[in-house]
Structure 1
Amino acid sequence: MTDGTAPLPLQQAVVALGGGHGLHASLAALRRVVDEVTAIVTVADNGGSSGRLRKEFGVLPPGDLRMALAALCGDDEWGQTWADVLQHRFQGTGEMQGHVVGNLLIVALWELLAAKGQSQVEGLDWVGRLLDARGRVLPMALTPMDITAEVLGHDPAYPDLVQVVRGQVEVATTPGRILGIQLDPAEPEACPEALDAIRYADWVVLGPGSWYSSVIPHLRVPELRRTLVKSEAKVIVVLNLGEQKGETSGYAPEDHLGALLGHAPDLKVHTVLADPGSVPDPDLLESVVASAGGQLVLADVATAPGSAQHDPVRLADAYARIMSGVTGSDAWR
Structure 2
Amino acid sequence: MALGGGHGLSASLQALRHMTEAITAVVTVADDGGSSGRLRQEFDILPPGDLRMALAALCEDTGWGHQWSAVLQHRFRGHGELGGHALGNLLITALWDLLPDEHVRGLDLVGRLLNTRGRVLPMSLVPLDIEAGILVPDDMGEPTEISVRGQSRVAKHPGKVVRVRLLPEAPPACPEALESIKLADVVVLGPGSWFTSVMPHLLVPDLRQALQDTPAVRVLTLNVSLTDDEASGYTVAEHVHTVVEHAPGLTFDHVIADPQVVRTRAEREALQAAVDLLGARLVVTDVGSARSPGLHDTLRLAAAYRDVLGVRTP
How high is the TM-score relative to the length of structure 1? 0.89
How many residue pairs were aligned?
Answer: 309
Alpha-carbon offset, residue 302 of structure 1 = 1.0
Which one of 210, 233, 236 corresponds to residue 216 of structure 2?
A: 233
Asked if structure 1 preserves the Cα contact closer than 8 Å seen for 2:244 and 2:277, the reply is: no
Deviation sequence 1:30-76 (CA, Å, 0-9, x none): 11212411100000010000000000000000000000000001221
Query: Alpha carbons of 1:252 and 1:109: their partners in 2 closer, same or farther (altered >3 Å)?
Result: same
Query: Alpha carbons of 1:156 and 1:237: their partners in 2 closer, same or farther (altered >3 Å)?
Result: farther
Alpha-carbon offset, residue 262 of structure 1 = 1.3
Deviation sequence 1:86-108 (CA, Å, 0-9, x none): 00000022111100000000000
Name 2:286's counterpart in structure 1: 300
Asked if structure 1 preserves the Cα contact closer than 8 Å seen for 2:160 and 2:234, the reply is: no
Asked if structure 1 preserves the Cα contact closer than 8 Å seen for 2:137 and 2:143, the reply is: no
| 2:121 is the counterpart of 1:121 | no
Asked if structure 2 preserves the Cα contact closer than 8 Å seen for 1:156 and 1:176, the reply is: no
| 2:98 is the counterpart of 1:143 | no
SS in 2 for 1:227: helix
| 2:35 is the counterpart of 1:49 | yes
More displaced stretch, 304-313 vs 169-178: 304-313
Name 2:170's counterpart in structure 1: 187
Asked if structure 2 preserves the Cα contact closer than 8 Å seen for 1:277 and 1:306, the reply is: no
How high is the TM-score relative to the length of structure 2? 0.94
Identical amino acids, percent of aligned pairs: 53
Code of the residue aligned with 1:310 in structure 2: it is: H
Name 2:229's counterpart in structure 1: 246
Code of the residue aligned with 2:217 in structure 1: it is: K
More displaced stretch, 299-308 vs 23-32: 299-308
Asked if structure 2 preserves the Cα contact closer than 8 Å seen for 1:152 and 1:159, the reply is: no
Deviation sequence 1:139-181 (CA, Å, 0-9, x none): 0000101000111217676643211100001111121111111
SS in 1 for 2:99: helix
| 2:166 is the counterpart of 1:167 | no
Alpha-carbon offset, residue 113 of structure 1 = 1.8
Asked if structure 2 preserves the Cα contact closer than 8 Å seen for 1:154 and 1:174, the reply is: no
Query: Alpha carbons of 1:194 and 1:301: their partners in 2 closer, same or farther (altered >3 Å)?
Result: same
Name 1:8's counterpart in structure 2: none
Which one of 186, 201, 220 corresponds to residue 203 of structure 1?
A: 186
Query: Alpha carbons of 1:187 and 1:279: their partners in 2 closer, same or farther (altered >3 Å)?
Result: same
SS in 1 for 2:229: coil
| 2:83 is the counterpart of 1:100 | no
Name 2:47's counterpart in structure 1: 61
Code of the residue aligned with 1:23 in structure 2: it is: L
More displaced stretch, 170-179 vs 131-140: 170-179
Which 4+ stretches in 1 moved above 3 angstroms?
A: 154-159
Distance between the aligned counterparts of 1:221 and 1:239, measured in 2?
21
Query: Alpha carbons of 1:282 and 1:309: their partners in 2 closer, same or farther (altered >3 Å)?
Result: same
Alignment of 1:216-231 (within 5 A): 216-231=199-214
Asked if structure 2 preserves the Cα contact closer than 8 Å seen for 1:155 and 1:175, the reply is: no
Query: Alpha carbons of 1:55 and 1:199: their partners in 2 closer, same or farther (altered >3 Å)?
Result: same
Which one of 275, 299, 309 corresponds to residue 313 of structure 1?
A: 299
More displaced stretch, 279-288 vs 155-164: 155-164
Distance between the aligned counterparts of 2:90 and 2:305, measured in 1?
33
Asked if structure 2 preserves the Cα contact closer than 8 Å seen for 1:87 and 1:101, the reply is: yes
Name 2:8's counterpart in structure 1: 22
Query: Alpha carbons of 1:158 and 1:184: their partners in 2 closer, same or farther (altered >3 Å)?
Result: farther
Distance between the aligned counterparts of 1:157 and 1:47, measured in 2?
33
Over aligned residues, Cα RMSD in angstroms?
A: 1.7
Distance between the aligned counterparts of 1:255 and 1:93, measured in 2?
41
- 5+ residue gaps in structure 2? none
